[in-house]
Every structure is written in structure tokens, then in C-alpha cells.
Amino acid sequence: MNEADSGTIAPAVLRGPNDYKSDIKPVWCPGCGDFGVVNALAKAMAKMTLEPKDVAVVSGIGCSSRIPAYMASYGFHGIHGRALAAGTGLKVARPDLTVIVTGGDGDGYSIGGNHFLHACRRNVDMTYIVMDNRVYGMTKGQPSPTTEPDWDSKLSPDGTGLREFQPLVIALTSGANFIARGFTGDPNGLAELIEQAVRHPGFSFIEVLSPCVTFRPEQKEWKKLVKPDAFKPTPDMPRAARRMLRDTGFDLGVLYAGERPAFAPRGPRALRAPAELEARFTL
Amino acid sequence: MTAGNMLLEAAAHAGYYALMTRSSGPQIRGGEAAAMLRIACEPVECMEDRFDVLAAVDWENVHRFNAEIPLGASSLILADPDQGEPPDIFVTSGATRAALPLKKLAKSVPEGRANMVLLGALAALLGLPDEAVARAVEKTLGKRPAALAPSLAAVAAGRAAAAAIETRFPLAEPPPTRRARWLLTGNEAAGYGAITGGVRFVAAYPITPATELLEWMAPALAQVGGTLLQAEDELASVNMAIGGSYGGVPSLTATSGPGLSLMVEALGLAVTAEIPIVVVDVMRVGPSTGIPTKSEQGDLNIAVHGLHGDAPHLVLACNSVADCLGTTQWAVQLAEALQSPAIVLSDQFLGQARAVVDRPPDIAGDGGRTTAAAGTPGYQRYAITANGVSPMAIPGTPGLAYTADGLEHAERGTPSSQAADHFAQLDKRRRKLEAHDFGARWADIEGDAASDRAIITFGSCTGPVREGLARAAAYGVAARLVSLRLLAPLPVTQLIAALEGVTRVLVIEQNHSAQLYKYLRAECDLPGRVTSVHRPGALQFSPGEIHRHLVEWSRT
């Protein structure tokens, strides 16, 4: 199947996960965690029986931001750091679409950090999946905001010495309505998290541990460190915050499932002919 | 400022045309402010060389406005003697002086205010009818009925006191047959033009002097079923608008120079991914924070050349308060038809000036965006077509799923680093702009078509150039006037045709580095000897200043 044909499948046909993937071969290195996200996304979409034509996957720049082209739904591969802004505009202009924003830790937490805060706060009904490998992979191995302070690289030969960015804490305090952590080594668990995230109203955030086997080969060990179902979902923010104090960085599951209503335009809305606005100027 | 607005509205109700600009000190709210008005029997697009009357409630920090309030020997300074002497700069103009104890007169009326006394006095000096003034006062104070009676009493006191002033400036009779007229700012006109052009999604980040455009649109868009979203910064607002437009909804944002600087990367994405979007740049004095409350045409360079790579796109310029409507509407239509970003250059003067204008003529819409039909066999988003425009798939349409991409791509939309794809897509993106028939709206062409001289200008310079040229005609100066509305792609063929037989060209613009002059010289072979008149902002060109330049030019 090629990408252009993918949406022509009659709605009555039951789609399998593969029907949600395009025929484009990913640019990723063999063993990259991001393959697991494509699989989990496709699985979740199939499970929800979403129409590919009604889903838009939006991204910025980076290895993981290549995902839109690998899905059979509509895609938007924009500029570095601005995926959440583009996704927000799309969802607010087209509330009928399911919008899933994807990207990496550099794209989302560094150059796009401000948009991350405000997307959490704005609580538009969409899902944000960050594939966190604690490195800039596309530019061949520089430290990202989530990189450990003592990780050496050409750009930081003695490590950054900087404390890691805490995406889940930031999301919680900024107002995200659904917060979870997944792992690409567990595509079934991840698919389940994605499904819950998409179904949950408002802004849903999933931090996905997605190993970079090329520049961070030590991350192959993550599969031994992760703790499935360590988080038990709660709508209680203080409780979720306390839970974060014991977070190992490898605890998986839904940390927080809030009850805030999703963003909706406020104030009176009426459908009038544009020409009626003339009365405001007419003498 | 309140009294200035009321005087403007009173003139409007009495059947006149008028223009009002305002100036205030650096304080966020309150403090000294000046309202500048010109009232006439025909539409006016700029201030005169001198004001007839300077009416001052007090002289606090008036030095901030000196340069904006030129007076002459035939002017009148109307002021409260209890507020001290007028500054020397006004006195040395030789203007006549009239004393009116504004504060004392205000105190003679319960709850009376000095600015309303002044309004009454000015109405008397101009011969504005009582009912027009009363209507303007009632309109402003309609929601505060308690303030209405004292204000009208104060206006009456001012009118009575002004009877003793001998120097008067009676307005001529207003035009007997009244055309449909509007009272609005350029920012409001641009907002309305965006809506008539079809915009239904706006992402907004406040910035002087574009904020009022966005504030006007917020409730107006809701009324026509659209949405305005406040963004966290300009990087977000432009990307939100691109996202909304990718979803098939015509989208816009408005900003000023500093915001436009932040937006140019995303505009390159809109060029490459072929997503329509309109950015209205209400230019202010730059660079950097510059002078946020003053006008300058310094963003032409960034608007035309600011994008990296070879990124053909649309740049248009509004040339009057009323034209902010038509040009913004046209920009939306062009952006949609050509799947291209369009930058509309307005400026602080046009955006914030409030004017009585003839109702602009309706401009026909066009076919809008070319979209692809559901299930188009072998659909390719970036297919190479004869006119360069490829049908756009809108999310939700079955069978057309594709990924819009800022990466260079093959026709199908898949990323490509092949030279052949790059050439083909570059050519296509350029062709769709160059092959388009822009019709007659690319410029306003007026003046003496038989003359072998031509003036080229754009934007808010057009008003003073038009008036300066008309004035210079009495001194035997004749020229064609070309006010460019379409700046990019520059309609070279049409421009050269409009300059047929011309041996002298004068390019007039309001910036320090002759940006338009250099752009024109780079893009086309202008005929004959080409000279430039350019100076930076804060102050607008006056008709007299243009007149002097034209007389000097006519001797070359």
C-alpha cells in the first residue's frame, strides 16, 4: 500500500495496525526506539477504529519528528520546536480532527519549551507524544535538556553539569490534563497509554522512553530499569506531585488523569453574514 | 483624547470628512496626549503642513509633541491663561493667541470638565452645528448618562465663551449629496478585510501598533463563526495560523517588525509546504524596539528578502486607511489562490489613524483555494502543474492523506534530497506567483499620463504624495503617480508599461536606506534618470514637504 492510497479504504473495512502505517521507510537507525512508537500509534488507532483521514499527526524537527510521514493519516512536518503551536492551531481551527503531536526531547523541551508550558496550560484537546532519548540524534549526539549532567559529548566534553529537565513535573504544574510515561520496549503498554491519552479530554502528554542505540548505546539497558504500572492514575494533583518525589525516571503508567474541561472558545458566538459587521463603521 | 474623538465624530455627523491621529507620552496610561485632526469637505489621507488651531488644556510635557504640531502665522493658539505661557516654539510661529479660562469655565458647570469646554469652543470656531456635537457627546457618554448633562453644559459654556474670539476657521459647507461614509481606523479596516477575504482563524500575540487589529477581530470573528486564539509568542502565533490553514481554514496573524522578525522561519515553511497564510505587519519605527508608537516604512526589506533560501511569496502594501480593507482582503484571496504566505505592509499611521472615508467599493471574491477531490486517483500534493498550483488535500478528505513538509520533497510530498526534485519544486513555487494574472490592482496609477515624469511610492506615503503632486501642478509640475500595492512578486512588466515614455522617475518612501528605490533598481530597468526621496520615520511626510521635493525634481 502506498501512502497516497491509504485513506481510500472503505470505512466498513476493519483495519489492522498496518493499515495505519504508510509505505515510506523510516530514516531511523536499526534498533531505534521510535519504531516502537509507530507500532504503538498504529495499534492504538486501529483499536479506536479511527479513520486515517480524520487523524493528523503533527511534528517539528528531529529523528522522532519524522513520524507523520510513516503514518497513513494526514501529517504535518513543520519547523524545529513549533509542533505544538501548529497542532494547536490545527485543532482549534478543526475541532473535528484527532490531533496527535509528536517529537523528541530537544524539539519539545528545549527549542519548544515555551510552547510545552502553554500547551499544558491551554489544555486543547490533543495528545503530545515525546520520544525522549536524552540526546540530539539527528545532529549526531549533543546533550538535550534531559541528558544526564555528566554525559560527555563533542559539544560538552566534560558533561553539561546541568540538572535534567523534569517533563512530568513541568507538565503537572503547567496544567496538562493527562500525564503518562511509556516505554518503546513495551509497545502494547504504550498503545494502551496512547489510547487513553487520545480519549482523555484536554491536553494529554506522554513521555516515552525511546532509546537511541547509536549515540546512547547504554540506553539498551533501559528495558531492565523500567517499572511497568508503577504509576497509578489519580485526578488528585497534590497526590500526583508527591508521587513524583519518588519517581525513578523509569516508572511507567498514568501519573495523572485530571478533570479540567478541554479548551473551548469562550464568549457568545453567532453565525452572521460578514457584511453585518459594516454597521460598526457606518455613519 | 476623548474631546478629539468627539470632535472627529461631530465633524463626521455634520457631513465632513476627517482624519485623526494621536500621540501620547511614554506612560502606559493617562498623562499628556495630543489628538491631531484634519477636517475637510473631501476625503483626506494625511495631515496638512500646519495646523490652524492648537487648543491646549494644559502644557504639561508638550515638548514631546512639538514636532508633530507645526503652526504658522495664520494659526491660532487657544489656551487657558491659568496654565502659564505656551512654549516658545509655538509662540515664535507668530500664531495669534486667544485666552479661554477652561478650568474656571469648567468649574462654573457642576461636574464640568475642561476638555468639554474646549470641545464647545472649537466647535464654535469651526462653525460645527450644535446637534452634531451633541450627537458625538451622546454617543461617547451613552453608557454614562450621569456624565451627559454636565458634558453638554460644559460644551455650551465653551461655545458661549468662544464668541469673544475673533479669529475663526469656519468650515465650508459640507458636500450636499452625501455618499455612504464610514468612520474607522486602518487596523479595523484590515480586520474587516481579513474577514471579507474569508479568514476564520486568527492567532494573536499583542504588539504595538497591531494590537487593535487583533482586538477588533476577536469579537468580530466570533460573530462570523471563526476563532481567535491568543498565542504565547509570535513563533507560536504564526505556526498556529499555519496549522489552522493546513486544516483548510483561511488563517491570519498580525504583528509589527519585532514580531515579523520572529515569524520569518515559519513563513519559509509556509512557502515550502505551500500553506496559505496572511501576516499583517503594521510597521513601526525600527530596528529593535525602536519607536513602537510611530510610523516608518522600514520593514520592506525583511518582508521581501527576510526568508532564507529561495522563497517566493507575496508582499502587498495598503496605501490608505480605507485601502487597508481592500488590500488585506486581496492578500487573503491571493494567499489562498496561490497557496502562499502573504505579508501585508500597513503601518502605525494607517493602522491607528481614525478617518471618515467613503465606503470602500465591494471587491468580488474569487475561487479561493484549489482543493483536491476525495479519492483523486494517484493524488500527489505537490504535483508539477502548468500554473504551479497543485490541488491541496484538506484533512478529513478520504484518500488523499499526505504529509505537509518543510523538507524539500518529491511531488508526492515525500522528503527528497534529489537535485531534480529541488529544481522542479523551486520552479513550481516561483511559477505559481509569476504566472498569476494580478489584474489591475497591482498599483493605483493616477496623475498626468501624458507627462514624461513618474513618481513611484507605496503605503502611507501615497496620501501626502498625492496631495503634494496636486499642489505642485499649480507650479507646472506634472507627473504620473504609481502607488504600488503588489510589492512581491514585483510586477515588472506592468510597471515598465506604466512608465512608457517616462524619462525621469522619482521614488518616494519613508525609511533611512531607500529600501524601495534599491529594490526597484535591482528588479527592473527603470527608464531614464531615477532619483530617490527617502527619509526615516517618526514624522509622516507632509504634502508641502513633497511639494518642495517635486518642484526641485522638476528642475532636474
**Do B187 and B64 share a domain, yes or no?**
no
B12, B183, B395 member nearest A97 (Cβ) = B395
Residues B73/B92, Cβ–Cβ less than 8 Å: no
**Do B339 and B253 share a domain, yes or no?**
yes
**Do B350 and B247 share a domain, yes or no?**
yes
Residues in CB range of B201: below 8 A, 6 or more apart: A89, A92, A93, B226, B227, B228, B229, B241, B244, B245, B249, B250, B251, B252
B196, B246, B266 member nearest A82 (Cβ) = B266
Nearest-neighbour CA in chain B from A199: distance (Å): 19
**Do B327 and B237 share a domain, yes or no?**
yes
Residue A10 banded pLDDT, cuts 50, 70, 90 = low
| Angle of helix A34-47 versus helix A187-199 axis, rounded to 10 | 50
**Do B345 and B429 share a domain, yes or no?**
no
**Do B393 and B462 share a domain, yes or no?**
no
Q: H helices of B43-113, where?
A: 88-91, 102-107
Q: Is residue B173 part of a domain?
A: no
Rg (Cα) of chain B, in Å, rounded? 26
**Do B459 and B526 share a domain, yes or no?**
yes
User: Are β-strands A251-257 and B341-347 bridged in parallel, bridged antiparallel, or unpaired?
Assistant: unpaired
**Do B294 and B399 share a domain, yes or no?**
no
Question: Whole-angstrom Cα distance, residue A75 to residue A20?
Answer: 12
Q: Is residue B364 part of a domain?
A: no
Question: Whole-angstrom Cα distance, residue B78 to residue B431?
Answer: 60
Share of chain A above pLDDT 90, in %: 92
Q: What per-residue confidence (pLDDT) applies to B338? A: 98
Helix (H, G, I), strand (E, B), or coil: what is residue A253? strand
Q: What per-residue confidence (pLDDT) applies to A4? A: 45
Q: H helices of B295-322, where?
A: 300-305
Residues A172/A181, Cβ–Cβ less than 8 Å: no
> What was the ipTM of the complex prediction?
0.96
Q: What per-residue confidence (pLDDT) applies to B343? A: 99
Q: Is residue B177 part of a domain?
A: no
Contacts of B412 in chain A (CB under 8 A): 3-4
Q: Is residue B176 part of a domain?
A: no
Q: How far apart are the first and last CA of chain A?
A: 62
Q: Is residue B421 part of a domain?
A: yes
| Domain A32-280, CATH number (from 2.40.50.140, 3.40.50.300, 1.25.40.10, 3.40.50.970) | 3.40.50.970
Beta-carbon pairs below 8 A across chains A and B = 206
Contacts of A271 in chain B (CB under 8 A): 223-225
Could you state, in order of their start, the residue ranges of all structural domains in chain A?
32-280
Domain boundary among B358, B384, B407: B358
Domains of chain B: total? 4
Q: Is the pLDDT of residue A3 over 60?
A: no
Contacts of A3 in chain B (CB under 8 A): 401-403, 412, 414
- Model confidence, pTM: 0.96
Digit-coded pLDDT (tens) for A160-215:
999 999 999 999 999 999 999 999 999 999 999 999 999 999 999 999 999 999 99
Q: What per-residue confidence (pLDDT) applies to A12? A: 54
Residue B320 in grid coordinates: 490608505
Digit-coded pLDDT (tens) for A110-128:
999 999 999 999 999 999 9
Residue A134 banded pLDDT, cuts 50, 70, 90 = very high
Given an 8 Å threshold on Cβ–Cβ distance, is B244 in contact with A93? yes
Structural domain that includes position B288: 183-358
Residue B462 in grid coordinates: 501615497
Residues in CB range of B410: below 8 A, 6 or more apart: B382, B416, B418, B421
Residues B270/B318, Cβ–Cβ less than 8 Å: no
Q: Is the pLDDT of residue A65 over 70?
A: yes
Given an 8 Å threshold on Cβ–Cβ distance, is B240 in contact with A274? no
Q: Is residue B175 part of a domain?
A: no
Q: Largest Cα–Cα distance in chain B?
A: 84
Residues in CB range of A25: below 8 A, 6 or more apart: none
Chain B residue at shortest CA distance from A21: B401
Whether the CB of B174 is below 8 Å from some CB of chain A: the reply is: no
Phi, psi of B292 (to 5 degrees): -60, -25
**Do B446 and B426 share a domain, yes or no?**
no
Q: What per-residue confidence (pLDDT) applies to A2? A: 44
Q: What per-residue confidence (pLDDT) applies to A1? A: 38
Chain B 329-388, CB below 8 Å of chain A: which residues? Answer: 356, 359, 375, 378-380
Q: Is the pLDDT of residue A222 over 60?
A: yes
Count of beta carbons in the 10 Å neighbourhood of residue B543: 23
Q: What per-residue confidence (pLDDT) applies to A13? A: 66
**Do B431 and B444 share a domain, yes or no?**
no
Share of chain B above pLDDT 70, in %: 100
A72, A94, A277 member nearest B401 (Cβ) = A72
Contacts of A283 in chain B (CB under 8 A): 12-13, 181-183, 356
Q: Is residue B363 part of a domain?
A: no
Given an 8 Å threshold on Cβ–Cβ distance, is A76 in contact with B356? no
Question: Whole-angstrom Cα distance, residue B518 to residue B120?
Answer: 50
Chain A residue at shortest CA distance from B404: A76
Going by the DSSP 8-state scheme, the letter that residue B392 receives in this structure is B
Q: Position of cell 469579537?
A: B219
Mean pLDDT in each 10-residue stretch from start to end of chain B (556 residues)? 94 97 80 93 96 95 90 96 94 95 95 95 97 95 88 97 95 89 98 97 98 97 96 98 98 98 98 98 97 97 98 98 98 98 98 97 86 96 98 98 97 96 98 96 96 98 98 94 98 98 98 98 97 97 97 93
Chosen from B212, B232, B272 to mutate, greatest number of chain A CBs within 10 A? B232
CATH of the domain at B199: 3.40.50.970
Residues A55/A72, Cβ–Cβ less than 8 Å: no
**Do B203 and B349 share a domain, yes or no?**
yes
Q: Is the pLDDT of residue A5 over 60?
A: no
Q: Is residue B350 part of a domain?
A: yes
**Do B226 and B298 share a domain, yes or no?**
yes
